Structure 1
């Protein structure tokens, strides 16, 4: 019976050992997805909210991530041939690089909301080869805008009066100007004369604005994320507007979109993210594409939906255009036939690219709108907001002789790339504040799991040995009995 008793002991010991092992695994699971992980997630959610004192708040108010705006000018190389009806031919010049400084002035820290005004200033940052004083040749877009309005408004009589009576030379189809004037404050005698007659017009045409955006004067409101972390940095109101103008049926919302530098924490690959780009007066939608690394940090790459750069029937004007263009004319004063597309006509109707010469073929990595987002914090590690500006030049009759023979074309003026990329200093800070604590917790979990396994194994071996010795020498072993009972004498 000794063998049976020993087997019982061994089974009991083995059961005890397995019980300890199960306890170790249970402890690992509890720690990994339970208390410690939840505590860590709550810490990240808290730090990612826009609350004074948090690093995310400091970066949102006054970003220290290097931000730039690069302009690439399409310089017209055959102005005489273009005036006679040939295709326009271009040489791309640039980048003309500007360092962007973005700062928010907080007006009110509400219950789950922040009200602020923002200023954006741009300072030329020479790349060596190009300067703001470079002379370029392009279409007289002020003249094109004036003719466009003459066909639709009371400006017609004023424009004709200026052309007939002005002592200045008659406006020409093509102009020679500096890069600075083209981008920031173009004016010419035609605009100045019209301004004298109509003070409601601006004496300048601003294709870009420097430190004079409307959101510098009118308040914007965003969610701080303290009530719902999934709404962190999302707009409630932009520049005094809760709904975007020029859209039917609230088809394009400000709500649920951010400015692109910060999203909510814990981004998932199946999400649709929304970015509001004020230069285009609309919200764009981003979808996950692939995983990338930015300075050694894992990130999700989100790209723009192709459908966002197509005519939208809910937009009140400018929809009778080829695929790939969006109408931006309503953003000008006076309104002008200005359109936006992706650079180099990416995802546009082929006819647009074939109508011009000298424009490089499109390249998705170079020309698309994208955001590389760190998924745990929702921070943009690399962001590119790109758009190409064009003006619709049409053939006209009557007094505007410069336009009698040209071939109608969507004339590209320039494209811009507004971008921000994480630098080494901010990468080190992100590692210190987020990834080091995460690695510490995960390392501690595995150490604890290993310790539990070691204790379980050691305890099991000791228990088996103890049981074996007990089975061999213990008092409870059944006594031997004789195999044959002998008869007793009667």
Structure 2
């Protein structure tokens, strides 16, 4: 039994001359998701290496700018299997004892995007290439990209799966080639190498005899093809003639549909390029976009209304059927051949390697998948994706997109490097791309689209009240003027009547006075 601990970040893999190994995926049930690979040969004690599946949080303080066809930037947080320790096993893999500490790697890279070759076309569309580059941010990362971790050797295991139905002679030749090149089923490399590429003699051999098999030349890495590369030529509608079609994808790489899948519906390129959507949304609106990385269109549904920094938003989330198989959700049948529901086979667009796309920790997937790799704990809060959209403009305010890439592995008879690996869909990496509007763009957005409309809304009532007052003033003035005229007319009429009465009285006196009577006039 092994009793000494090795330095964290390293793991000893016994190399058996007879090529035989046994592997079994087990776990210690740790909350972070620790799986252990137990290696056994006929001539040594069983050893286990554990790899912790870490958690990723939202990149606080990162901004996503310029959702249109202009330069922008965002934050990408990459999650990789990490934490390596050597375990001792007495009789079976059910009794694990950790001998070394486990470190955690959570490398964070800032993603920079810029668009080039922007061309406006005559049919109300604009074409552009969007380039991406990543810069490591050690101050926001747990661990360094120079730290070593243990990972399944994707090239060896994927090649073994491709040879499953080939003649035994070819399998033996492949086993010999792997042994000659020093290739094993599992490898110990740095985080940076696994994510962004490493030199491998197998890559050079494959590119020499099968030059079009892999999209990468010289180096292989999980995200090697994404760094300093474009996501394809997008042609989208500008929305000048019809704003409801703004940013809808007309073509991608000159195609209106792809050919990766087995039905026209699944091959359709629908929605936008994922940067903005048509304005004036309602709760019945859905978000549809085409993802070159997933090789398919995706559709998100409305969940709830909310606010982000005082700005009203609609939250859109992935439906439970996003990665469901055809038996659970018939429209997805074209994405098969399928395994358990909740994972999508992307081998047709990933050089036929048995790779599967899903939510992290197999969230919203068949429970048997998470149970097969103990230590996975899928939950909505940590492993679901969401987009918060301003419904009036269709611009994202806050987003967190989390996806997981897994590899299906098993023992292949005739290829010694695979030993007796139990069939399992093994998580390789899950990553989160998150961003939020902040700083000057956020202040401008809030001022122009929230504060000013609110001020104008209240101002209209103030102006309405002021208008009513101004309207009442001449009315009141007119009424008072009419009252004065009435009083003057009444006074004049009364004076005339008095004068007539006096005159009549005087005349009556004159006519009634006897002759010879002298009338005296009294003057006041």
* Category of TM-score, reference length = shorter chain: 0.7 to 0.9
Q: Aligned residue for 2:130? A: 118
Check the 8 A contact 1:72/1:414 in 2, yes or no.
Answer: yes
SS in structure 2 of the partner of residue 252 of structure 1:
helix
Alignment of 1:238-253 (within 5 A): 238-252=252-266
Check the 8 A contact 2:260/2:349 in 1, yes or no.
Answer: no
TM-score (norm 1): 0.75
**Residue deviations 1:190-209, cap 9 Å, x none?**
44434443333335444222
1:102 paired to 2:119: no
Q: Structure 1 or 2: larger strand share?
A: 2
* Larger RCO of the pair (alpha carbons < 8 Å, separation 6+): 1
Q: Aligned residue for 1:392? A: 408
Q: Distance in 1 between matches of 2:384 and 2:373?
A: 20
1:160 paired to 2:175: no
**Residue deviations 1:339-378, cap 9 Å, x none?**
011012211111111111233x223233222111111211
CA RMSD of aligned residues (A): 3.5
Q: Aligned residue for 2:312? A: 298
Q: Distance in 2 between matches of 1:311 and 1:187?
A: 36
Superposed displacement of residue 439, structure 1: 3.7
Q: Aligned residue for 2:300? A: 286
Query: Is the alpha carbon distance of 1:132 and 1:290 closer, same or farther for their aligned partners in structure 2, counting shifts above 3 Å?
Result: same
Superposed displacement of residue 437, structure 1: 4.4
Check the 8 A contact 1:337/1:391 in 2, yes or no.
Answer: yes
Q: Aligned residue for 1:339? A: 356
Q: Distance in 1 between matches of 2:169 and 2:445?
A: 61
Q: Distance in 1 between matches of 2:143 and 2:460?
A: 55
Q: Aligned residue for 2:369? A: 352
Superposed displacement of residue 461, structure 1: 5.3
Q: Which has the larger radius of gyration?
A: 2
Query: Is the alpha carbon distance of 1:422 and 1:254 closer, same or farther for their aligned partners in structure 2, counting shifts above 3 Å?
Result: farther
Q: Aligned residue for 2:157? A: 144
Q: Aligned residue for 1:75? A: 82
Q: Which moved more, 1:182-191 or 1:383-392?
A: 182-191
1:184 paired to 2:191: no
SS in structure 2 of the partner of residue 251 of structure 1:
helix
Alignment of 1:174-253 (within 5 A): 174-202=186-214, 204-208=219-223, 209-211=225-227, 213=229, 215-216=231-232, 219-252=233-266
Q: Structure 1 or 2: larger helix share?
A: 1
1:413 paired to 2:428: yes
1:329 paired to 2:347: yes
Q: Aligned residue for 2:378? A: 362
**Residue deviations 1:32-87, cap 9 Å, x none?**
xxxxxxxxxxxxxxxxxxxxxxxx996523344x51111111237588899x9959
Q: Distance in 2 between matches of 1:77 and 1:412?
A: 16
Unaligned runs of 5+ in 1: 1-55, 480-490
1:430 paired to 2:438: no
Check the 8 A contact 2:402/2:431 in 1, yes or no.
Answer: yes
Superposed displacement of residue 287, structure 1: 1.5
Superposed displacement of residue 380, structure 1: 0.5
Query: Is the alpha carbon distance of 1:86 and 1:214 closer, same or farther for their aligned partners in structure 2, counting shifts above 3 Å?
Result: farther
Q: Distance in 1 between matches of 2:486 and 2:473?
A: 20
Check the 8 A contact 2:125/2:237 in 1, yes or no.
Answer: yes
Q: Distance in 2 between matches of 1:223 and 1:336?
A: 35
Q: Aligned residue for 1:135? A: 148
TM-score (norm 2): 0.70
Q: Distance in 2 between matches of 1:157 and 1:475?
A: 128
The partner residue of 1:447 within 462, 469, 481 is 462
Q: Distance in 1 between matches of 2:75 and 2:166?
A: 38
Superposed displacement of residue 458, structure 1: 4.6
Superposed displacement of residue 124, structure 1: 1.3
Q: Which moved more, 1:238-247 or 1:371-380?
A: 238-247
Check the 8 A contact 2:410/2:418 in 1, yes or no.
Answer: no
SS in structure 2 of the partner of residue 291 of structure 1:
strand
Superposed displacement of residue 184, structure 1: 2.2
Check the 8 A contact 2:234/2:249 in 1, yes or no.
Answer: yes
Q: Distance in 2 between matches of 1:257 and 1:81?
A: 52
SS in structure 2 of the partner of residue 382 of structure 1:
strand
Q: Distance in 1 between matches of 2:103 and 2:337?
A: 28
Q: Aligned residue for 2:325? A: 311
